[in-house]
Amino acid sequence: MGNRILDVRDLKTYFIRRNSVAKVVDGVSFHVDENETLGLVGESGSGKTLASLSILRLVPKPGRIVEGKIYLEGLDLLVLSEKEMQKLRGGKISMILQDPMTSLNPVFTIGDQVGESIATHFKLKGAALGARVVEMLNHVRIPSPETRVNAYPHQMSGGMKQRVVGAIAMACRPKLLIADEPTTSLDVTIQAQYLELLKDLQREFGMSLIFITHDFGIVANMCDRVAVMYAGQIVETAPVQDIFYHPAHHYTAALLKAVPKLENKVDRLTSVPGQPPRLDQLSVGCRFAPRCSRADSQCNNEEPPFSFLTENHRCKCWHPIQ
Ligand SMILES: Nc1ncnc2c1ncn2[C@@H]1O[C@H](COP(=O)(O)OP(=O)(O)O)[C@@H](O)[C@H]1O
Ligand code: SF4
Ligand SMILES: [Mg+2]
């Protein structure tokens, strides 16, 4: 892979309240290279969104980054002023939020909303700005963009709205795009089309992508490498093939087992048995131990370190699956 675009080291983001500390991101390290797609995978509540919001320095209060380093193309993001950070957001680095309904403003046309981020970053106005907006809507394959610029969000389908959200996020040709479960609210056909579109635009624009999902089913199609998150920590990272064919962490294996297979149709999606721990009441030892069939007293009493199975495959487990 090419140059390192993002390097996150030992990131800790905590919600600190008078009587409790919730360690929602707790010592997370990962990187993303040029043109690469990293899948960030894990059950709901594992800290995927907060890890991403930390990169953008948009952690909601009372949460804050208490430790760690975040470098974007070598630039140390945690020492930048808020003004400098604002320039980066929607510029070099951008994020597509989970719910298109909440990221679009109902009282402005989609042309205004796509135009706003272009105007800020490229200092364009008038006809030049209008042309750029239409070009961007074209990129995300919105039919008849010249007339659609005047539409309001409620006049568009869910799939089209999600494309507009994509157009806003990519309007300034970011180096790094974080897509946070971008297809959760879409039906399966529209979801597949949207994922294809994302891949096309990534190639066209030369973007790196962090693709967040709780659905292992779409990881194989989208990602080069995968980081599996559990209870605020990354527990395994590996190239996508290794994750699927040689999962080493017991949580990864359980997630894979929960992926519905076409050949044995079930009415309900299976999920990993048990519940993740509360992040403000963590015990010592492996956080997955209460749900792990391989857990022993070492797992219960000592936090497992990372070990390397191969140069690119690491796993935080006392007894990795061989
Ligand atoms: N504003 C908040 N205050 C306190 N805890 C929060 C807040 N937002 C999220 N959390 C907690 O942080 C954890 C991680 O959340 P999140 O990053 O949204 O997970 P994911 O994106 O993996 O579903 C969850 O346990 C969630 O309850
Ligand atoms: S460290 Fe122990 S409890 Fe945790 S995943 Fe590995 S085997 Fe299971
Ligand atoms: Mg989330």
Does ligand 2 have an atom closer than 6 angstroms to the CB of 250?
A: yes
Does ligand 1 have an atom closer than 6 angstroms to the CB of 47?
A: yes
Q: How far apart are CA 225 and CA 36, in angstroms?
A: 8
Amino acid at 137: L
Choose among 258, 250, 254, 253: nearest CA to 295.
250
Flag whether pLDDT at 267 surpasses 50: no
Choose among 180, 176, 170: nearest CA to 50.
180
Does ligand 1 have an atom closer than 6 angstroms to the CB of 32?
A: no
147-156, 171-180, 255-264: least confident range: 255-264
Q: How far apart are CA 137 and CA 146, in angstroms?
A: 9
The DSSP string of 111-166 is HHHHHHHHHHHH---HHHHHHHHHHHHHHTT-SSHHHHTT--GGGS-HHHHHHHHH
Whole-model pTM: value is: 0.94
Does ligand 2 have an atom closer than 6 angstroms to the CB of 321?
A: no
Flag whether pLDDT at 68 surpasses 80: yes
**Separation of CA 12 and ligand 2 centre (Å):** 22
Structure confidence at residue 258 as a pLDDT band (50, 70, 90): confident
**Separation of CA 227 and ligand 3 centre (Å):** 15
Domains of the chain, CATH where assigned: 4-92+174-316 (3.40.50.300)
Residue 253 main-chain phi, psi, to 5 deg:
-60, -40
Strands (E), 208-281: 208-213, 225-230, 233-239
